[in-house]
Amino acid sequence: MSLRFAAASAAAIPIWFVHRESWPAIRDGLPAAAAAFAAASGFEPTAGQHAVLPDASGGIAAVVAAIEAPDARHRDPFLPGKLANLLPAATYRFANEPHETSLAALGWLLAGYRFNRYKTSGTNLPALIAPAGIDVARIERIARSTALARDLVNTPANDLGPAALEAQALAVAQRYGAAATVVRGNALVTGNLPLIYAVGKASAEPPCLVDFIWGDPTTPKVTLVGKGVCFDTGGLDIKPESAMALMKKDMGGAATALAAADAIMDAGVKVRLRVLLPIVENAISGTAFRPGDVYPSRKGLTVEIGNTDAEGRLILADALALADEEKPDLLFDFATLTGAARVALGPDIPPFYTGEDALAEAIARHSRRMNDPVWRMPLWDPYDALLDGKIANLNNISGGPFAGSITAALFLRRFVEAATAWAHFDIFAWNPKSMPGRPEGGEAQASRLVYDLIEARYGV
């Protein structure tokens, strides 16, 4: 797996991007043998189609790849990345510019990701020379950070339990000289992080909170919080088999936070970055927390457990309360939190929640810029009362079948007061099928846009 561009080479094979308007002129400029082959093979400039065109000696003269027309309703900037899994192993270059060259190049690198921990593909992949005018270091940085998150999400829970995820997080912190601490096991109780302890205490591996800080303390404070449930059985409210099959990905929020942090630190963005990762396994044993239990939280609010399968918001609540205590300028959390989000928006578009309109506009802008789709959903205040507890300050579920993603976000909002701006991302962290630049499996949804937003806002 290569996450870098190839060295420049005069022998690189040109890739011509075409659509219905541009194809005739590009076809007429091809070598005669290549143009004749394109006609004989019936190539049509329909988006997603490509043809490998031979030269007179039987080698590859060029590749033509169809992209969306300029007036298409939707244009996928990653579509050129599809070629990274289709072309013969060789070195290629863009002969002309696709719609968005930087994103096309990023899509190529992202498409070349492979999860090779347990088996190798054995297939040599084509390589791409970096197109002129792009920020090579930045694009390779984004690809590497995305691969970090994908590797973590794809690793099964027998090899990525709480201790292993903690170690991975500490390795990222160490790479950039960040100051890290870990609160683990019973120390979570004495450290006033009782909800994290309650969720994770049934596991053979103790729960923990990883906390690391990087950057100049005089610069703006940015904090990332990621849900790190290494496996979610649902607890005593056990999930059915179909819902449990992909629960190795329930630490996707932590993986996404680490991906964004890795890119921010590697770029040297001028922030004081803090990363908080509550890490647990929601297991079943004699010490498991139960429906009807009541626990205190770091914030002082008592929480009644309406369902043990709504555990992610519990561990996030303590982490967010801790983050909020130092009044960060920006506070983002990432979590594979609700199935309701998938029902509303499907697997490709994570909803996000914020009460700050200016931040919402910035998130949407950087989402489009980075081809990292998200969609704003409302923090609908009338639903907040659905979380009121009968014998505690609040319940961890609303008790009804509707608006599950919204009520989960409202639950988290109860634990954020002092931060200047906060946004919550309810991600899926998984591609159920392969798409250009997005292979099937673990995914770092929202990490690219958050890195782009923070870098643009605070500089390097």
Same domain, 67 and 196: no
E-assigned strand segments in 289-442: 294-296, 302-304, 330-335, 351-353, 375-376, 394-395, 422-426, 430-431, 441-442
Same domain, 318 and 453: yes
CA atoms within 13 A on the CB side of 441: 19
Please report the pLDDT score of residue 70 as a whole number: 86
Is there a domain that residue 396 lies in? yes
In 3D space, the residue among 342, 320, 349 whose CA is nearest the CA of residue 423 turns out to be 320
> Are 450 and 260 in contact, with CB atoms under 8 Å apart?
yes
Neighbours of 117 (CB within 10 A): 11
Sequence-distant (6+) residues with CB within 8 A of 270 are 215, 216, 219, 220, 458, 459, 460
Please report the pLDDT score of residue 417 as a whole number: 98
In 3D space, the residue among 460, 353, 454 whose CA is nearest the CA of residue 403 turns out to be 353
Please report the pLDDT score of residue 326 as a whole number: 98
Same domain, 43 and 92: yes
In 3D space, the residue among 344, 350, 3 whose CA is nearest the CA of residue 147 turns out to be 3
Same domain, 164 and 21: no
Same domain, 246 and 383: yes
Same domain, 255 and 236: yes
Helices (H), 268-403: 312-324, 339-345, 357-370
- Return d(Cα 114, Cα 125) in angstroms, integer: 10
Is there a domain that residue 364 lies in? yes
Same domain, 163 and 126: no
Angle, to 10 degrees, between the axis of helix 162-175 and the axis of helix 136-154?
A: 160
Same domain, 344 and 400: yes
Is there a domain that residue 308 lies in? yes
In 3D space, the residue among 434, 228, 374, 377 whose CA is nearest the CA of residue 315 turns out to be 228
Please report the pLDDT score of residue 123 as a whole number: 77
| Residue that finishes a domain, picked among 96, 117, 134 | 134
Same domain, 129 and 191: no
Q: In this structure, what are the phi and psi dihedrals at residue 126, rounded to the nearest 5 degrees?
A: -65, 155
Question: Could you report the per-residue pLDDT of 180-227, keeping only the tens digit for each?
Answer: 999 999 999 999 999 999 999 999 999 999 999 999 999 999 999 999
| Residue that finishes a domain, picked among 134, 150, 183 | 134
Is there a domain that residue 2 lies in? no
- Return d(Cα 271, Cα 75) in angstroms, integer: 34
Neighbours of 385 (CB within 10 A): 10
Residue-wise pLDDT tens for the chain (460 aa)?
678 999 999 999 999 999 999 999 999 999 999 999 999 999 999 999 999 999 988 899 999 999 999 889 999 999 999 999 999 999 999 999 998 999 999 999 999 999 999 998 777 899 999 999 999 999 999 999 999 999 999 999 999 999 999 999 999 999 999 999 999 999 999 999 999 999 999 999 999 999 999 999 999 999 999 999 999 999 999 999 999 999 999 999 999 999 999 999 999 999 999 999 999 999 999 999 999 999 999 999 999 999 999 999 999 999 999 999 999 999 999 999 999 999 999 999 999 999 999 999 999 999 999 999 999 999 999 999 999 999 999 999 999 999 999 999 999 999 999 999 999 999 999 999 999 999 999 999 999 999 999 999 999 9
| Residue that finishes a domain, picked among 102, 134, 166 | 134
Is there a domain that residue 95 lies in? yes
Strand partners, 224: 275, 332
Is there a domain that residue 355 lies in? yes
Q: What is the DSSP letter of 438?
A: B
Q: Indicate which residues carry an active-site annotation.
A: 239, 313
Is there a domain that residue 1 lies in? no
Please report the pLDDT score of residue 57 as a whole number: 87
Please report the pLDDT score of residue 1 as a whole number: 60
Which pair of structure tokens corresponds to residue 209? Answer: 């909170």
Same domain, 166 and 88: no
Same domain, 163 and 103: no
Query: Taking the CA atoms of the chain, what radius of gyration do you get in angstroms?
Result: 24
Same domain, 245 and 392: yes
Q: Which domain holds residue 31?
A: 13-134
The total number of structural domains that make up the chain: 2
Q: CATH number for the domain including 44? A: 3.40.220.10
Is there a domain that residue 99 lies in? yes
Q: CATH number for the domain including 440? A: 3.40.630.10
- Return d(Cα 49, Cα 97) in angstroms, integer: 17
